[in-house]
Structure 1
Amino acid sequence: MQSNRNEDEMRIKVRDMIAEIGTAIFTTIDGEGRLRGRPMRSQKPDPDGRTLWFFTRTDSPKVVEIRHDGRVLLGYSDTRNQDYVAISGRAQLITDPARKQALWHEGLRSWLPEGPDSTEVALIAVTIEGAEYWDGVSSALRFAYGYAQSLVTGRPDTSGENAKVSFGG
């Protein structure tokens, strides 16, 4: 089912969904044009809601890939609640010490034991260009009703919400 929200409401919906899900499959393009994905945890988005942040090691292959081609796709999935978000954007490496300190939390030390002050630790800023979300039916009762309705009518259940959202200018 298409969304009846306006663009601002849909952008808020996208931000709320990704905050709830937290981990994305972060997909880059390697030097040979192949897509490469890996799970990465989002940090707090910028107040403008158009930039997402991820910590990384500076020697990571994804850093080379981003420098070669900054286009990325982030896929968020919560199968329990049938919520999904796909975000397309542009990524760039950020080494600003103040920004790293502001976004750092101790749970990151498992992957980045050097901490935020290390030159081996950086941030990836993803500027969101567009998104699409699917807010599905998480209630078992609602799912059963949609299933029965589809059997009777021969048409798919339309109780979920789907929308394409522009984050540009």
Structure 2
Amino acid sequence: MNKEQRFCQSCGMPLTEDVLGTNADGSKNEDYCMYCYKDGKFLQDCTMEEMIEHCAQFVGAVNEGLEKPITKEEYIGMMKTYFPQLKRWRKTLNVSNDEAMNAKAAIKREESELVSIPECEQARPKVNPALAGIKELIAQMADKQPIAYISSVDQDGFPWTKAMLKPRKREGIKTFYFTTNTFSIRVAQYKANPKASIYFCDAKGFKGMMLRGTMEILTDAKSKEMIWHNGDEQYYPGGVTDPNYCVLKFTATDGRFYSDFYPRSFVIE
């Protein structure tokens, strides 16, 4: 059986045994190529952007394996999307749940960071929101977006995704509460496998946020009353005690935030 194709976690080139870099003890390094890593050290002291610019000069070699050639600019655009996922450039942010509680304060901070630019352009933050204020931006997205997408896993291991109304309640960016039907396929899947994810999308701002974690099914009176709204009778005729009404409690462990063509992974503590 053929091994899965690997790529250098610094420059993205395909890895084969003859181009592997070396560790400090002389052994082969399985993550980096010989052009990026030797004797346990990187050969170039550079930023990700500088590495992309360096690799862009080899677009001709890349085109040799493509049916339809790409331009240098297209290649750079592809690398800007791909490189943040490589080990050398990937950054993991530890996110404290308590720090994300106040979304209103986050909005004010974001507005204060806007720079003055020509009227023909939209105002943009001074800093990349994927690098600073990520916790507040996630909380803001969860509150502002009317739709959330939740995913479960079926008995065959395939994901099921469904659009839901925004969470009725959240606790920071760690815990989210939704309403749903007790006798739905979704609930049955969560009971069998609690692994879940939720996704919020700001199409206008071209931002997306995915959270992974677990989903609990709550049917106790206190939980059901906690997020019940007037008018919910149209969905649950029996009222708050309707046996077909239950609460989904999602608890996040980690996630991924995408903004300005730049993804960032983070852990929620």
Give the TM-score, by structure 2 length: 0.48
* Contact preservation (8 Å) 2:130, 2:259: no
| Cα separation, partners in 2 of 1:13 and 1:161, compared to 1, 3 Å | farther
Shift of 1:161: 5.7
Q: CA RMSD in A?
A: 2.1
| Cα separation, partners in 2 of 1:109 and 1:12, compared to 1, 3 Å | farther
- 1:106 pairs with 230, 233, 237, which one? 230
* Residue matched to 1:4: 131
* Contact preservation (8 Å) 1:70, 1:90: yes
Shift of 1:97: 1.2
The one-letter code of the counterpart of 1:12 is: E
* Structure 2 alignment gaps of length 5 or more: 1-127
> For 1:11 and 1:87, how far apart are their aligned partners in 2?
12
> For 1:40 and 1:12, how far apart are their aligned partners in 2?
22
Matches within 5 A, 1:1-169: 3-5=130-132, 9-41=133-165, 42-46=167-171, 48-136=172-260, 162-168=263-269
Deviation track 1:96-142 (CA, whole Å, cap 9, x = no partner) reads 21222121113544433333222221101000111212234xxxxxx
* Contact preservation (8 Å) 1:28, 1:65: yes
> For 1:2 and 1:81, how far apart are their aligned partners in 2?
12
Higher relative contact order (CA 8 A, sep 6+): 1
Secondary structure of 2:223 counterpart: helix
| Cα separation, partners in 2 of 1:130 and 1:108, compared to 1, 3 Å | farther
Shift of 1:2: 7.2
Q: Which moved more, 1:107-116 or 1:118-127?
A: 107-116
> For 1:36 and 1:13, how far apart are their aligned partners in 2?
26
* Structure 1 alignment gaps of length 5 or more: 137-159
Which is greater in Rg? 2
* Contact preservation (8 Å) 2:236, 2:242: no
> For 2:153 and 2:255, how far apart are their aligned partners in 1?
18
> For 1:72 and 1:38, how far apart are their aligned partners in 2?
12
* Contact preservation (8 Å) 2:141, 2:202: no
* Contact preservation (8 Å) 1:10, 1:163: no
Shift of 1:12: 2.8
| Cα separation, partners in 2 of 1:115 and 1:161, compared to 1, 3 Å | farther
